[in-house]
Amino acid sequence: MQLSLLRRLAALGLIFSLELGAITLWLDNDQIAGRSGLIALCHDWGPLLLRGIVVFGTLFFTFAFLKFSSTLQAVSEDLADTRLHSGYFVAHAAALGLFVALSSTLYTNPQSSNLFASAWLAAGFAAIILGACAFVGPAFWSRMIRGTRYLWAFSAAAAVAASFGGNAIRPLWPRAAELTFFIVQLLLQPFGIYSGDPATMTIGSSRFSVQIAPTCSGLEGIGLILVFTTVWLLLFRRECRFPQALILLPAGVVVLFLLNSVRIAALILIGNAGYGSIATGGFHSQAGWIAFNLVALGTSVAAREVRWISRRKAEPSVDAAPITVENPTAPYVVPFVGILAAGMASRALTGGFEWLYPLRFVAAIAALWWYRKTYAALDWRLDWTGPAAGIAVFGLWLLLGPTAASPMPGALFEATSAARISWLILRVAAATVTVPLAEELAFRGFLLRRVLSPEFETVPFREFSWLALLVSSVLFGLLHGQRWIAGTLAGALFALTVTRRGRFGNAVIAHGVANALIAVDVLAFNRWGLW
């Protein structure tokens, strides 16, 4: 399959992820609690609907690439050398802007009407549809649905089952919780810290304990893995040996159920070791999804590679040297993705204060070093516009956002001097070195030119386009959450420093200067809210 389609869909997924992340961080569902009519439905069913959309997209494209690769190959060839559908993208930006404007009123004004909520929902769905069409066009989606035949129905049914099926198995939760309690008890006994009360389902130690609620029984995750495995068996039934392949269903259930018990036991051990905030914070919320992904991946591998289950013939060995395909996108995107992934890991392993923030610095350094030869071809020369743009962005950051003094986080203030200074050094190093490099490579090195052509690496940095400027700047702004307006203007200034003389180094130094000035302001004037 050509890389063009993969790049387009990857870019679409990245954009949707950034937009969704910014929106979910900004909007609090509890703000519309207690309303009536359509707004009440949005409050009660909105999170489940959103989860269903994510599950549908994940399942549909996962199985489409595995099962219908020939169809995607044909579509990919038709998409070769075509550009972004600018009209759809402008419409997407307009719909998203309308959604943001309506959200500001809907979530703050208790008197908002159901008609207003209808317009809000319509704007949200329109933004999704128009964004999808912007990258590959409506013709692609039409051919995709026809070419993958019944896959959309399987994925839709699976999304509904995964998102709304939890209530159907609610009567089983108490029994499953009792079994979970028993397994956790067995896992903790070798550590000599077990103390529990089966009557209240409380288990742990004198220092840290948890209550195993019915929702902690793991049945929701089990339902999701059953859906995933069932869809797999239906789609790849001709490659599977039946009835042997049916073992994947109970195997996935057992493994995921045991991993859920291991998760709870690990949570208690972490809390008992004195890291209660980590246990109840990031680890508790992230470990379940990590376990599901591991089991789903294991199911996929076993279903196709284990000879007792799969009918697939072994690939014939070829003596010729393997063909390697260089991905020009990776050097520009991987450092930024590495920072995002490290951020997720550090939040999962950290409680109230992100002590593992330096993981982002390490991940970025590793990626930048790996692709260092690619960056030598970029124009790193500097002139006065870089620092000047950085100073201007710093001014915008103070002008368009809250600048009230806020104290240093308590955990950092109470830490030893060595720990506090070490963390601050790495935090400042990340802000002034690795973050500017990684974000400029992704947004100005890649996205600014990718809007102009799929072969973005051939586009000179001096080539200017208002659409490219708008797309890269708005998405960069959304990355900064509530400061998205300042972020968008900052992205535009960084882009202009590049296109003015084609010097990529100007954007990096501008970004670094802005972040350095923000760091000085934070440390000198105790405005920790800027970080």
Q: Could you tell me if residue 138 is inside a domain?
A: yes
Model confidence band, residue 505 (pLDDT cutoffs 50, 70, 90): very high
366-391 tens-digit pLDDT: 999 999 888 988 999 888 999 999 99
Owner of token pair 């959450």? 481
Q: Which two tokens stand for residue 237?
A: 């039934």
Same domain flag for 134 and 183: no
Give yes or no: residues 127 and 21 share one domain: yes
Rounded to whole angstroms, the Cα distance separating 420 from 396 reads: 29
Tell whether 144 and 232 lie within a shared domain: no
DSSP codes joined into one string, 157-204: HHHHHHHHGGGGGGGGHHHHHHHHHHHHHHHHGGGT--EEETTTTEEE
55: in domain: yes
Assigned domain for 112 exists: yes
Lowest pLDDT segment from 15-19, 268-272, 285-289, 420-424 = 285-289
Q: Among 349-353, 365-369, 441-445, whose mean pLDDT is lowest? A: 349-353
- Does residue 344 belong to any structural domain of this protein? no
Do 203 and 276 reside in the same domain of the chain?
yes
**Residue 421: φ, ψ to 5°:** -65, -40
- Whether 302 and 421 map to the same domain: the answer is no
SS3 sequence of 482-526: HHHHHHHHHHHHHHHHHHHHCCHHHHHHHHHHHHHHHHHHHHHHC
Same domain? 421 vs 484: yes
Distances (CA, A) of 156 to 51, 59, 153, 159, 240: 12, 9, 5, 5, 23
SS (H, E, C) 312-378: CCCCCCCCCCCCCCCCCCHHHHHHHHHHHHHHHHHHHCCCCCCCCCHHHHHHHHHHHHHCHHHHCCC
Of the candidates 313, 339, 362, which is a domain's last residue?
313
Using the 3D structure, point to which of 313, 344, 372 is the last residue of a domain. 313
Domain match, 134 and 41 both: yes
At 528, is the secondary structure helix, strand, or coil?
Answer: helix
Same domain, 440 and 471: yes
Rounded to whole angstroms, the Cα distance separating 296 from 225 reads 7
156 vs 377, residue with greater confidence: 377
For residue 320, the model assigns a pLDDT of: 42
Question: How many distinct structural domains can be found in the chain?
Answer: 3
Share of the chain above pLDDT 90, in %: 13
pTM of the complete model: 0.51
Strand segments, DSSP code E, in 3-53 are none
Whether 208 and 306 share a structural domain = yes
Residues 391 and 511 in one domain: yes
Query: What is the Cα–Cα distance from 476 to 462, expressed in whole angstroms?
Result: 20
Q: Is 463 helix (H, G, I), strand (E, B) or coil?
A: coil
Residue 72 falls within a domain, yes or no? yes
Cβ contacts of 229 within 8 Å, gap of 6 or more: 248, 249, 252, 299
Domain co-membership, 381 together with 510: yes
Question: Confidence band (pLDDT; 50, 70, 90) for 7?
Answer: low
Query: Is there a domain that residue 428 lies in?
Result: yes
Within a domain: 181: yes
User: What mean pLDDT comes out for the span 20-26?
Assistant: 68
pLDDT, tens digit, 9 for 90 and up, residues 111-120: 777 787 888 8
Asked whether residue 326 is domain-assigned, the answer is: no
What is the extent of the structural domain holding 57?
1-149
Are 373 and 232 members of one domain?
no
- What is the rounded distance in angstroms from the CA atom of residue 488 to the CA atom of residue 469? 10
